[in-house]
């Protein structure tokens, strides 16, 4: 998993893949190379048992300042339709079954904010700024911004941000429920990696099921969601990891989950 033009990839600890968006000259604007590299990397990581969780980050100045405006500006309607350049990458991110944590410092704008929102949760540095400023360019969010932002922060703030293009700082984003925690800039990666290591130490099967269940809360009614939860809870008793987790508690030792 090396040799990318637009990504820097590391394995800082067992089971954790750290992916840095790396187009410093364009504040990590998302172009077709970056999206195809990220999609390909996630496809590989999805099938690799050694990867249990992904941390996605940018630079201190920008997580990503949006889709690459220079790449898009001259495209015609027909080209945009044919290219459909976000759809494939978005699908691969949305369908990635393992957890992805977005560690956001600086700008997360337009497609950058949408990319962060596609992750499972966002840890933000105090310098993070979120926005959907597409209206300034005469367009609208195009990879879920109008839908996800509204679900996360509610209609009033979503309308305000999307129609005025104002940015939300980290403190407001945390109050509004867009981010799970805010930490000092120099602690961002450390905090995200600690959270990732914690997840990587859990039963990978239980992690997959827990992720699926929380995602279902956005797609289904409460009654159906709770019924699904009960069924998946029952089914976890088919795995050795459940026996190991409960035995370890009773025996006052650390569990050794095998993902079976």
Binding site for ligand DAK (CB under 6 A): 26-27, 29, 65-70, 80, 85-86, 107, 109-111, 133-134, 136-137, 142-143
Distance CA 228, CA 242 (A): 18
Query: Which residue number, 118 or 199, has a Cβ lying nearer to ligand DAK?
Result: 118
Pair 203, 257: CB distance under 8 Å: yes
Q: Cβ of residue 235: shortest distance to ligand DAK, in angstroms?
A: 36
Q: Which of 134, 176, 192, 195 is catalytic?
A: 134
φ and ψ of 135, to 5 deg: -60, -30
Distance CA 87, CA 11 (A): 28
Per this entry, what is the length of the chain?
260
Q: Cβ of residue 112: shortest distance to ligand DAK, in angstroms?
A: 7
Query: Which residue number, 122 or 195, has a Cβ lying nearer to ligand DAK?
Result: 122
Q: Give yes or no: 114 in active site.
A: yes
Q: Cβ of residue 107: shortest distance to ligand DAK, in angstroms?
A: 4
Pairing of strands 129-131, 168-169: antiparallel
Q: Give yes or no: 134 in active site.
A: yes
Q: Cβ of residue 216: shortest distance to ligand DAK, in angstroms?
A: 25
Please tell me what DSSP assigns to residue 67. B
Query: Which residue number, 130 or 152, has a Cβ lying nearer to ligand DAK?
Result: 130
φ and ψ of 113, to 5 deg: -70, -40
Name every residue whose Cβ is closer than 8 Å to that of residue 150 and which is 6 or more positions away in sequence.
Answer: 158
Distance CA 260, CA 241 (A): 6
Q: Which of 58, 106, 111, 145 is catalytic?
A: 111
Query: Which residue number, 27 or 51, has a Cβ lying nearer to ligand DAK?
Result: 27
| Residues labelled catalytic | 67, 111, 114, 134
């Amino acid at each position: 998993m090396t040799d990318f033009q637009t990504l820097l990839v590391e394995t800082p600890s067992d089971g954790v893949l750290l992916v840095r968006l790396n187009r410093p000259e364009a504040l990590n604007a998302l172009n077709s190379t970056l999206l195809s590299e990220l999609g390909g990397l996630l496809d590989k990581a999805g099938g690799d048992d050694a990867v249990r969780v992904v941390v996605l980050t940018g630079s201190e100045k920008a997580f990503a300042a949006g889709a690459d405006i220079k790449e898009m500006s001259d495209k015609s309607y027909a080209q945009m339709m044919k290219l459909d350049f976000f759809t494939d990458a978005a699908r691969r991110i949305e369908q990635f079954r393992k957890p992805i944590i977005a560690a956001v410092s600086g700008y997360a704008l337009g497609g950058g904010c949408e990319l962060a929102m596609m992750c499972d949760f966002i840890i933000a540095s105090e310098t993070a700024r979120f926005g959907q400023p597409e209206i300034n360019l005469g367009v609208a969010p195009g990879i879920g911004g109008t839908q996800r932002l509204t679900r996360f922060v509610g209609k009033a703030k979503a309308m305000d941000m999307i129609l005025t293009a104002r940015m939300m700082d980290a403190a407001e984003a945390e109050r509004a429920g867009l981010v799970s925690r805010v930490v000092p800039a120099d602690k961002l990666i450390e905090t995200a990696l600690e959270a990732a290591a914690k997840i990587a130490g859990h039963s990978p099967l239980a992690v997959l099921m827990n992720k699926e269940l929380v995602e279902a809360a956005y797609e289904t009614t409460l009654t159906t969601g709770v019924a699904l939860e009960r069924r998946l809870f029952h089914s976890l008793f088919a795995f050795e990891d459940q026996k190991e987790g409960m035995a370890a508690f009773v025996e006052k030792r650390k569990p050794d989950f095998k993902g079976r």
